[in-house]
Chain A
Amino acid sequence: MSDQAFVRSEIIEEQTPPLTAFGLVGWLKSNLFSNWFNAILTFISLYFIWYVLSGVLPWIFLSVWNAGSLSECREIATATWGDSHGHACWAVIKDRWIQLLFGFYPSELYWRPILAFVLLLISLAPVLYTSVPKKIFYLTAVYPFILPWLMWGGSVWAYVSALLGFVLGYAIVRYTSEIVGQLGAVILSVIGAIVWWLYIGPLLLSQGVGAILPLALEPVISRDFGGFMLALLIGVVAIGCSLPIGIVLALGRQSDLLILKTISVWFIEFIRGVPLITLLFVASTLLNIFMPPGTNFDIILRVMIMVTLFASAYMAEVIRGGLAALPRGQFEGADSLGLNYWQSQRLIIMPQALKISIPGIVSTFIGVFKDTTLVSIIGLMDPLGLSQGIRANAEWNGIYWELFAFIAFLFFIVCFSMSRYSMYLERKLQTDNR
């Protein structure tokens, strides 16, 4: 007993940890050379990294920026380094980057897509970050109407009329649902909005006010759209629309209403079962057959609809996964407090289901954005389509890697930003201390 008793008589001073536990040496030892097998793997990896970089870095940096053609590039490279291989010819990018960005959009109107892009960033800010003033949401609300006006031009009144149709529909729901019930109000508002769009709006605004105050931008036809701008345009619309449509489809698929459920299931399964290219071909050729002759249904609009539908089907399944992951108790907790269906969906279920689905949702966004390059197959001038056009020129015949590298770089910036943002969002929404 007594030899187990112990009283400390002096306090031990704080000491620095041994050298191997911290600092560069400690880090190297614990992470790269912890045993002989790891050491061998480290050396093999280092060799591999060196091998790749020693090929790629000189190609990127020992390169030709000023030349009028590929052959001139090669001459310069040979004169400088004694070898025309292994040196990028960035001159083609320097020559054609504007075209790769804007396609054949009239150059004196470049300010319009640029302004649209800047406004996009501003109106996204309050959606992405909570610290941004909420007033900007007004811009976000009207942005869907500013975007097409800036891009395609034409009279502003057509877009104002479209916007007012939505406002009218909302107002009808807002003020009549007390009187005629929710379903009645929705039906009324749809009828009201359609009547407005077809008859009153055009008459009042496009012809009435439009005649007095002809506020119009010079129209640009869809065939001139192209480049990265086109990819962004289709991507933004598809991403922006697929999330709400996907939520509705996911809820429809979970619904107790048999008809709604059947429609949602079949829509999702059909769209997911068909390759996007097929849908795009349908958009570019088949749809015209069903249209009455003479109708002009814009090709970009058709493509946007198809890409959006395609993305929505995937989105619906991603969100359904999030819904399925929620414990039943959440639904019951919401029900037991007397929240109605839409309130509990909006306040309890969706915030959690969407949060669980963030990685899947962003993957779908990124996938859709990259899939926009497929539109080159039906003849739209997306960056890949343009790169073919550039190669068709005598000066740049045979140039591949530089163009693809540049396009890949543009896509990478956008996709990587989305991915980083989703990681930020996940961290921010982490409220359970797991």
Chain B
Amino acid sequence: MSDLAIDREVDRSQMQVSDEEAIQITEMNKWFGTFHVLRDINLTVNKGERIVVCGPSGSGKSTLIRCINALEEHQRGQIIVDGTVLSSDLKNVDKIRSEVGMVFQHFNLFPHLTILENCTLAPIWVRKTPKKEAEETAMHFLEKVKIPEQALKYPGQLSGGQQQRVAIARSLCMRPRIMLFDEPTSALDPEMIKEVLDTMIELAQDGMTMLCVTHEMGFARQVANRVIFMDQGQIVEQNEPEEFFNNPQSDRTKLFLSQILGH
């Protein structure tokens, strides 16, 4: 939860927001048993947007982005991802999941496979890419996250930051249109946070559509074009980063920002 200043220039020239919709969520509600976790969520994400979602613990941030690739099921309302309506039909679910990359707090790499196999598995089995081609793609993205030399090691032999970068590369190998991040840096030590954030910034500079749950406010300031604040399962406030941080409207947002930024 630090306001880790990012000591690099962020090139915003490639970060173009198009007016095509990538994700459209309307009137979405979700319950865990009788507990109403998500209430009337309305959210439209255009292609090329970088959205940071923040909010206190238990406010439903993870649940929201997990609904987008159907790791959680919503009970009411509609989610359209890249033109595909998310329903309980398993075919659509697998299709959406293969278009949407997801990076988890605890990496969720497959410990019995090497880094390279982690990256080639889904392209080979889901996309039916020939093995050789999948390996070339995997090496390309491993180079992009700056760990090609670890390709033949197992996840257990890598540091946390390296593992998270592999997880990002693994998602990228599926050539997703949208990337979801669920607190990708909160299980990491400070010096590793930076290397993962650097990777994410590069991704943003390449024009990727990103939806990112994080408390890295430095990242939000420099990369995001919109910050969403959630509390008690609702979207309480959303705004451009500068406005959001300097001029929050709701009391709950102010309270949250004062806690997180330590003023």
Chain B residue numbers with a CB within 8 Å of A351 are 112
Chain A residue numbers with a CB within 8 Å of B108 are 327, 329-330, 332-333, 336
Chain A residue numbers with a CB within 8 Å of B95 are 338
How many angstroms between the C-alpha atoms of A168 and B179 in the bound complex? Answer: 43
Q: Is the CB of A329 within 8 A of B106?
A: yes
Known interface pairs A332-B104, A333-B104, A429-B112; A338-B154 also in contact (CB < 8 Å) = no
How many angstroms between the C-alpha atoms of A333 and B121 in the bound complex? Answer: 12
- Answer yes or no: A355 CB below 8 A from chain B CBs: yes
Q: Which of B90, B97, B111, B157 meets A336, CB within 8 Å?
A: B97
Known interface pairs A351-B112, A431-B154; A337-B97 also in contact (CB < 8 Å) = yes
Nearest CB on B from A326, distance (A) = 10
Q: Is the CB of B104 within 8 A of A329?
A: yes
Which among B71, B109, B122, B171 has the greatest number of chain A C-beta atoms within 10 A?
Answer: B122
Chain-B contact segment, one of A98-106, A209-217, A340-348? A340-348
Nearest CB on B from A379, distance (A) = 46
Q: Which of A329, A336, A343, A433 meets B125, CB within 8 Å?
A: A343
Q: Is the CB of A433 within 8 A of B94?
A: no
Known interface pairs A343-B125, A431-B111; A337-B156 also in contact (CB < 8 Å) = no
- Answer yes or no: A352 CB below 8 A from chain B CBs: yes
Q: Is the CB of A336 within 8 A of B156?
A: no
Q: List 25 A-B contacts (CB under 8 A).
A: A327-B108, A330-B108, A332-B104, A332-B108, A333-B109, A333-B110, A336-B71, A336-B108, A336-B171, A337-B122, A337-B126, A337-B174, A338-B95, A339-B94, A340-B90, A340-B94, A343-B125, A343-B126, A347-B125, A352-B110, A352-B111, A355-B112, A429-B112, A432-B154, A433-B157
Q: Is the CB of B110 within 8 A of A339?
A: no
Chain B residue numbers with a CB within 8 Å of A330 are 108, 110
Nearest CB on B from A323, distance (A) = 14
Nearest CB on B from A174, distance (A) = 15
- Answer yes or no: B69 CB below 8 A from chain A CBs: yes
Known interface pairs A347-B121, A432-B156; A332-B71 also in contact (CB < 8 Å) = yes
Chain A residue numbers with a CB within 8 Å of B101 are 336
- Answer yes or no: A434 CB below 8 A from chain B CBs: yes
How many angstroms between the C-alpha atoms of A337 and B104 in the bound complex? Answer: 12
- Answer yes or no: B170 CB below 8 A from chain A CBs: yes
How many angstroms between the C-alpha atoms of A347 and B155 in the bound complex? Answer: 16
Chain B residue numbers with a CB within 8 Å of A298 are none
- Answer yes or no: B81 CB below 8 A from chain A CBs: no
- Assuming A336-B108, A339-B94, A432-B155, what are 5 further A-B pairs, CB within 8 angstroms? A329-B104, A332-B108, A333-B108, A337-B171, A338-B98
Chain B residue numbers with a CB within 8 Å of A348 are 110
Nearest CB on B from A425, distance (A) = 13
Nearest CB on A from B106, distance (A) = 5
Report, nearest first, the 8 A-B pairs whose CB atoms are least far apart.
A338-B98, A432-B156, A333-B108, A337-B122, A329-B108, A338-B97, A336-B102, A431-B154
How many angstroms between the C-alpha atoms of A115 and B177 in the bound complex? Answer: 58
Chain A residue numbers with a CB within 8 Å of B71 are 332, 335-336
Chain B residue numbers with a CB within 8 Å of A335 are 71, 97
